[in-house]
Structure 1
Amino acid sequence: MKENILGVDVCHDTYDELAAKLMEDINQRNTSFIVAINPEKIMKAQEDEELRTLLNKATYQIPDGIGVILASKLRKGKIRERVTGIDMMMKLCETATVEGKRIFLYGAKPGIAREAKVKLEEKFPGIQIVGVLDGYEKDKQVIETTINESKADIVFVALGSPAQENWILANKDHLYPSVYQGVGGSFDVISGRLNRAPEVFQRFGLEWLYRLIKEPWRLKRQLALPKFLLKALKG
């Protein structure tokens, strides 16, 4: 089930429901694509038809942002649980470990994907991370060959948005893996290069507030949230 918020589709599924669907996609050799949806992306999509089309082409649009949950409630929708990009990645890593699925890490600066691989192997003993490739590799043939030869089932793509989503759409149909997720700066967080908001901020969906405290220059971007909620209510 999906809900449409200002022209952008958003899934109702929980972490467990999505993980189960994605494992089934792998088992059935269906190609699927996960994109994280937040108020900023929805607002940008109002003026950028190409971005809106890109977001709606995903198989699963996860509600990554407390603003999306609030908008759904205002519109009497059914989205009640935030599904963040990094936590969806971790849930998939956990499930893939249990199910014996293979993972590939593509993107970020040189060395970071490899550091993230080490951290994931510590957290999930037995996880099969069958390849890593940094985002500075520009040879398309090298990228395609490396991913295909790994026989990975899942590829996490850390190229920043919307570059990672555009890459997934352009390449998923001729690559071996079944599941593709754009994960932004998640490799940096997992590797320990970048600190995530403390757990108390995460629990209440206040990571935006933590980032604002740490980076006051974000204030202008955060002021877009009330505009988004007002537009969602009217829409």
Structure 2
Amino acid sequence: MEKVEIFGLPITTGTFSEMLEQIQSRILQKKKTFVVTANATIVVTAIEKPEYRRIVQSADLVLPDGFGVVMAIRRFHKKSSERVTGIDMMLELCKFAAKQGLRVFLLGSKQEIVEKAARNLERTYGNIVAGYHHGYFDGEGPIDLISSSKADLLFVGMGVPKQEMWIGENFDKIPATLAMGVGGSFDVISGYKKRAPKIIQNLKLEWLYRYLQSPLQKKNVPKDVTKLLWYILKPPRGL
């Protein structure tokens, strides 16, 4: 693995397995670890909003989530990297948590969705959920609840840029070892939405599948994908 700079962001390249092993190693060593899975929306928001860019730059690992980011790595650095989606990494870390006797906390989405996601995770991986809370709050939110749960891993599904901004501002206030933004993963894990079939994923069109499921909620996704492709072809000055 190595890090390359894409639009001012330190993107980790390599295989999914290598990145997973790196995160697992840091967790076992109890190294505080902020993970960002950088898709088109995250990269475009970072390009256009300096405050958000500083938060993403502060992450311990920024992983390439999305074909546009993988394309940028290839174009600017002549290197290849596997795509690492937030939901795939989250589920692998839940499996790891079950094996290691670790606990997870889910923060984000609507109450009924995050509650169902927690139940489904426990149905699959056993008693790994230390707690959960919806994502509709102002300020720092349920810091005390997360801390008292003694969760080792915190998954935050509040969308971009809110989830990374919240982690950047509050991660040091809680004892969890890992914090990672996971976007709409709780929707899929809860069964509220379906993930794109493998053939759609292989065609690099998972973003379009998500958009078609929720065109109002995901109305900015096609624009962000198009913007990222434009930035790849014509990089903005200063980045």
Scaled to the shorter chain, the TM-score interval is 0.7 to 0.9
* 1:81-100 equivalent positions in 2, closer than 5 A: 81-100=82-101
Q: Deviations over 1:180-199 (max 9, x none)?
A: 00111111111011222112
How far off is 1:50 after superposition?
Answer: 1.4
**Counterpart code for 1:128:** I
Aligned to 1:166: 165
How far off is 1:158 after superposition?
Answer: 1.2
How far off is 1:127 after superposition?
Answer: 4.5
Q: Call closer, same or farther: CA 1:190–1:3 in 2, change over 3 Å.
A: same
How far off is 1:90 after superposition?
Answer: 1.0
Q: Over aligned residues, Cα RMSD in angstroms? A: 2.5
Is 1:130–2:165 an aligned residue pair?
no
Provide the rounded CA distance (Å) in 1 between the counterparts of 2:222 and 2:144: 43
Q: Deviations over 1:52-92 (max 9, x none)?
A: 21111111101010011111112234342000111111111
TM-score normalised over the length of structure 1: 0.88
Question: Residue 19 of structure 1 contacts residue 95 of structure 1 at CA under 8 Å; is this kept in 2?
Answer: no
Q: Deviations over 1:173-230 (max 9, x none)?
A: 1211000001111111110112221121113322134346554966544432431320
Where 2:36 maps in the other structure, the secondary structure is strand
How far off is 1:28 after superposition?
Answer: 2.3
How far off is 1:135 after superposition?
Answer: 1.4
Aligned to 1:184: 183
Where 1:111 maps in the other structure, the secondary structure is helix
Q: Deviations over 1:135-176 (max 9, x none)?
A: 135585x71221112111100011111111111111111211
Range with bigger deviation, 126-135 or 60-69: 126-135
Q: Deviations over 1:8-61 (max 9, x none)?
A: 111114332233222332232211101121233323333322122111111110
Q: Call closer, same or farther: CA 1:226–1:120 in 2, change over 3 Å.
A: same
Question: What is the percentage of aligned positions where both structures have the same residue?
Answer: 38
Q: Call closer, same or farther: CA 1:143–1:211 in 2, change over 3 Å.
A: closer
**Counterpart code for 1:168:** I
List runs of 5+ in structure 2 lacking aligned partners: none
Q: Call closer, same or farther: CA 1:104–1:197 in 2, change over 3 Å.
A: same
Is 1:16–2:17 an aligned residue pair?
yes
* 1:201-212 equivalent positions in 2, closer than 5 A: 201-211=200-210
Question: Residue 5 of structure 1 contacts residue 232 of structure 1 at CA under 8 Å; is this kept in 2?
Answer: no
Provide the rounded CA distance (Å) in 1 between the counterparts of 2:91 and 2:7: 29
Provide the rounded CA distance (Å) in 2 between the counterparts of 1:20 and 1:78: 20
Q: Call closer, same or farther: CA 1:158–1:211 in 2, change over 3 Å.
A: closer
Provide the rounded CA distance (Å) in 2 between the counterparts of 1:164 and 1:220: 20
Question: Residue 105 of structure 1 contacts residue 155 of structure 1 at CA under 8 Å; is this kept in 2?
Answer: yes
Range with bigger deviation, 215-224 or 6-15: 215-224
TM-score normalised over the length of structure 2: 0.87
Match of 1:228 among 228, 231, 235: 231
Q: Call closer, same or farther: CA 1:182–1:200 in 2, change over 3 Å.
A: same
Q: Call closer, same or farther: CA 1:226–1:169 in 2, change over 3 Å.
A: closer
Question: Residue 42 of structure 2 contacts residue 160 of structure 2 at CA under 8 Å; is this kept in 1?
Answer: no
**Counterpart code for 1:191:** S
Where 1:18 maps in the other structure, the secondary structure is helix
Question: Residue 71 of structure 1 contacts residue 232 of structure 1 at CA under 8 Å; is this kept in 2?
Answer: no
List runs of 5+ in structure 1 lacking aligned partners: none
Range with bigger deviation, 199-208 or 49-58: 199-208
Question: Residue 71 of structure 1 contacts residue 233 of structure 1 at CA under 8 Å; is this kept in 2?
Answer: no
User: Aligned pair count?
Assistant: 233
